[in-house]
Amino acid sequence: MNKTITKSICAVMIFITFLTGCAARPASNTASTTQQEAEAQLEKELGAFEITAHQRELAADNEAGYRVLDAGRGNPNWINTQSRYAFTRFMEFALGESERVMKDESMAGHAVKDGIGHRFDEAMNPAQSADSFLIKAVDYCVSNMGINKDDLIKEMVDGIIGDYYPSPSRCLRNTEKILNAYLESTLYHGENLAGSTTVFPTEGGTASMVYIFDALSHNRLLNPGDKIAIATPIFTPYLQIPSVKDYGMVSVDVTSSAENNWDISDDELKKLEDKSVKAFFLVNPSNPASHALSANTISKLKTVIEKNPDLIILTDDVYGTFVDDFQTVYSAIPHNTILVYSFSKLYGVTGWRLGLIAMNKDNVMDDLLKKQPEDVKNYLRGEYSIVTDDPDNMPFAERVVADSRSIGLYHTSGLSTPSQIYMDLLALTHLVYENDDPYIKLANNLVSERYKALMETLGLPEDDNDANAKYYTVVNIRSLCEKHYGKDFADWLYKNVTEIDFLNALAQKKGVVLMYGPGFNAPDGTVRISLANLNKEDYIELAKRMFELLDEYYNEFGGKGISSPAA
């Protein structure tokens, strides 16, 4: 039979299997190979998150009647309370300032700046925990950052009330200083970049990525057919962005592996020296491998830039605080790097949608804009002249802001001011402790305990490398089978049960949801397990249920199950 037709038929068969949750197992080695090829194509079309969504449906009514254990989500199951109490308390103060000006039933006025710092001091009670933190936060901004107290309090009051458009549109003035101080403390690895960094708060890290891609494309810095390199394995949607219709770019994988401790090898880095590669996108620490780039790799990236000086680097560092002594690529190569960060994972604020874009005031994007052909410059002048009288000198950072509102609505762009003030408070919960942050320690210890419990129950060695954030872990099911059941069974399982078959069965029979590793460009046979959204005891139970399912496969193979059933 024609191979293309065979693959198409198999793809349809797998799609039916996917929808019904059945585990159709091919009888022969050849059929298995064809099914796996078709499955790979199916995954590209559906996406790992769509596959996981179906498994959640299966798990909800699982055959064993177990409570669902969903380790497919990266959403943390903890929150930061200090910032939330502080936000509520400061809102109360801000409302009092508004009513001080005018109060008529449920109507109030706009706060006034004169004397507002003194009134803040009078309103705060150091014996109350939220007040005490706010006192320390304001003192930190005044003493350590040189911000005028009345200016700060007035900006925060107006911001939290939300009675003005964001001004400047990109970021409130003092908010930018506070966010820069936070980034310098947590991500810059000792480099003094706060004063030279431009910040644009956004509706989460995903909005940051959308805005950046739109602006790079609109400004003809990335064009259809351009090569962009992607550090894989990586968060699935980043694999899908280059191929979508609006961009039409060509992706080049720069791969890391478990054998290299999920770091990028010299051979892979050499791909970036090719000047036809226009941009390089990475998540650091990575998702799903959850490992930070080594200092050695970051140093070698500097050499890459010497050979490809116009390379644009985009780094998503949302998991950076889960690695001690973390270093962002931006700290080493600020001229070429756009930094994306989100507060969502560390502070449990995914619903708030709090992210940011940071880039150096001296950056390669502005350099490239000056080198554009005259026809492109003329086109861009026409685009941005509606919001500036000097479009040629409009920085790329401001173009990102303008493009986020289709340029014409530039004057109403920017993240909501209450959200910006909450970002201030989140940042200050760290800054007031001056690098001895008890909350970050709690978060890191929490995921480490869960990781340890999971690996112990699976009987796998722990990776205690300093680069391991432990927010996620990648488990190779074939290696797990070989360790506990022997190579013959591992080979049999690989030939007869595809990854999606296994994950569907795990959800349908045992109520466990994991993510499909190859959907992140992780190796075949791997799954991603999030350590963020279940409790320690749940990871022990999860591992036991995995063995329950493997025992069933082992009995089918002709062996005898070796593990204890889940409780």
Distances in whole angstroms, Cα of residue 445 to Cα of each of 83, 313, 341, 525: 20, 31, 21, 29
- Residue 72 pLDDT exceeds 60: yes
β-partners of residue 239 are none
pLDDT tens-digit map of 487-500:
999 999 999 999 89
Look at residue 49 in the predicted model and tell me its pLDDT: 76
Rounded to whole angstroms, the Cα distance separating 362 from 124 reads 41
Domain boundaries, the chain: 3-74+440-557, 81-164, 192-413
Binning pLDDT at 50, 70 and 90, where does residue 244 land? low
CB 82 within 8 A of CB 538: no
Side-chain-side CA neighbours of residue 332 (13 Å): 19
> Which residue type, as a one-letter code, is found at position 70?
D
CB 131 within 8 A of CB 82: no
Distances in whole angstroms, Cα of residue 112 to Cα of each of 94, 197, 224, 486, 496: 11, 30, 51, 74, 72
In terms of C-beta density within 10 A (0-12 exposed, 13-18 middle, 19 or more buried), how is residue 402 classed? buried
**Smallest Cα–Cα separation from 91: which of 111, 77, 72, 74?**
111
Rounded to whole angstroms, the Cα distance separating 488 from 480 reads 13
Whole-number percent of the chain with pLDDT over 70: 89
Look at residue 433 in the predicted model and tell me its pLDDT: 94
- Provide the pairing of β-strand 277-283 with 107-108: unpaired
Rounded to whole angstroms, the Cα distance separating 319 from 330 reads 15
Look at residue 9 in the predicted model and tell me its pLDDT: 34
Residue 84, Ramachandran bin (φ over 0: left; ψ between -120 and 50: alpha; else beta): alpha
- Residue 509 pLDDT exceeds 80: yes
DSSP state of 264: B
Average pLDDT rounded to a whole number, residues 507-535? 94
Look at residue 31 in the predicted model and tell me its pLDDT: 40
Look at residue 39 in the predicted model and tell me its pLDDT: 44
Rounded to whole angstroms, the Cα distance separating 546 from 511 reads 10
Average pLDDT rounded to a whole number, residues 43-53? 67
Look at residue 45 in the predicted model and tell me its pLDDT: 43
Look at residue 562 in the predicted model and tell me its pLDDT: 59
> Is CATH 1.10.10.10 the classification given to domain 81-164?
no
Rounded to whole angstroms, the Cα distance separating 226 from 415 reads 31
pLDDT tens-digit map of 267-301:
999 999 999 999 999 999 999 999 999 999 999 99
DSSP state of 97: H
Q: Which CATH class is domain 192-413?
A: alpha beta
> Which residue type, as a one-letter code, is found at position 184?
E
Distances in whole angstroms, Cα of residue 187 to Cα of each of 190, 265, 327, 350, 361: 8, 23, 6, 20, 18
Binning pLDDT at 50, 70 and 90, where does residue 237 land? confident
Question: What angle separates helix 81-101 from helix 129-145, to the nearest 10 degrees?
Answer: 80
Look at residue 563 in the predicted model and tell me its pLDDT: 52
Rounded to whole angstroms, the Cα distance separating 396 from 61 reads 51
Across 206-231, b (16+ Cβ under 10 Å) vs e yields bbbbbbbbbbbbbbbbbeeebbbbbb
Rounded to whole angstroms, the Cα distance separating 243 from 236 reads 12
Rounded to whole angstroms, the Cα distance separating 94 from 86 reads 12
Look at residue 559 in the predicted model and tell me its pLDDT: 77
CA geometry: angle 407, 408, 410, nearest 5 deg: 60
Residue 113, Ramachandran bin (φ over 0: left; ψ between -120 and 50: alpha; else beta): alpha
Q: Domain 3-74+440-557 is of which CATH architecture?
A: Alpha-Beta Complex (3.90)
pLDDT tens-digit map of 151-201:
999 999 999 999 999 999 999 999 999 999 999 999 999 999 999 999 999
CB 53 within 8 A of CB 123: no
Tokens of 107: 């109507």
Look at residue 50 in the predicted model and tell me its pLDDT: 80
Rounded to whole angstroms, the Cα distance separating 330 from 327 reads 8
Q: What is the mean pLDDT of the chain?
A: 90
Contact residues for 554 (Cβ-Cβ < 8 A; gap 6+): 485, 489, 560, 561, 562
Higher pLDDT, 118 or 517: 118
Q: Where are the alpha helices (DSSP H) in 64-172?
A: 81-101, 116-123, 129-145, 149-161
What is the CA 539 to chain-centroid distance, rounded?
A: 22
pLDDT tens-digit map of 461-487:
999 999 999 999 999 999 999 999 999
Tokens of 448: 């480490």
CB 229 within 8 A of CB 418: no
Average pLDDT rounded to a whole number, residues 78-90? 98
**Smallest Cα–Cα separation from 258: which of 520, 457, 494, 474?**
474
Look at residue 304 in the predicted model and tell me its pLDDT: 97
Which helix (H) or strand (E) is 278 found in, with range?
A: strand 277-283
- Residue 231 pLDDT exceeds 70: yes
Look at residue 519 in the predicted model and tell me its pLDDT: 85
**Smallest Cα–Cα separation from 261: which of 296, 229, 313?**
296
Coil, helix or strand for 200?
strand
Look at residue 34 in the predicted model and tell me its pLDDT: 42
Look at residue 46 in the predicted model and tell me its pLDDT: 54
Look at residue 564 in the predicted model and tell me its pLDDT: 46
Look at residue 514 in the predicted model and tell me its pLDDT: 96
Average pLDDT rounded to a whole number, residues 453-463? 97
pLDDT tens-digit map of 430-442:
999 977 999 999 9
Rounded to whole angstroms, the Cα distance separating 486 from 479 reads 9
- Residue 254 pLDDT exceeds 50: yes
First CA to last CA distance, the chain: 48
What's the full length of the chain, in residues? 567
- Provide the pairing of β-strand 355-360 with 337-342: antiparallel
Look at residue 4 in the predicted model and tell me its pLDDT: 35
φ and ψ at residue 39, rounded to 5 degrees:
-65, -40
pLDDT tens-digit map of 374-398:
999 999 999 999 999 999 999 999 9
Q: What is the pTM of this model?
A: 0.89
CB 502 within 8 A of CB 53: no
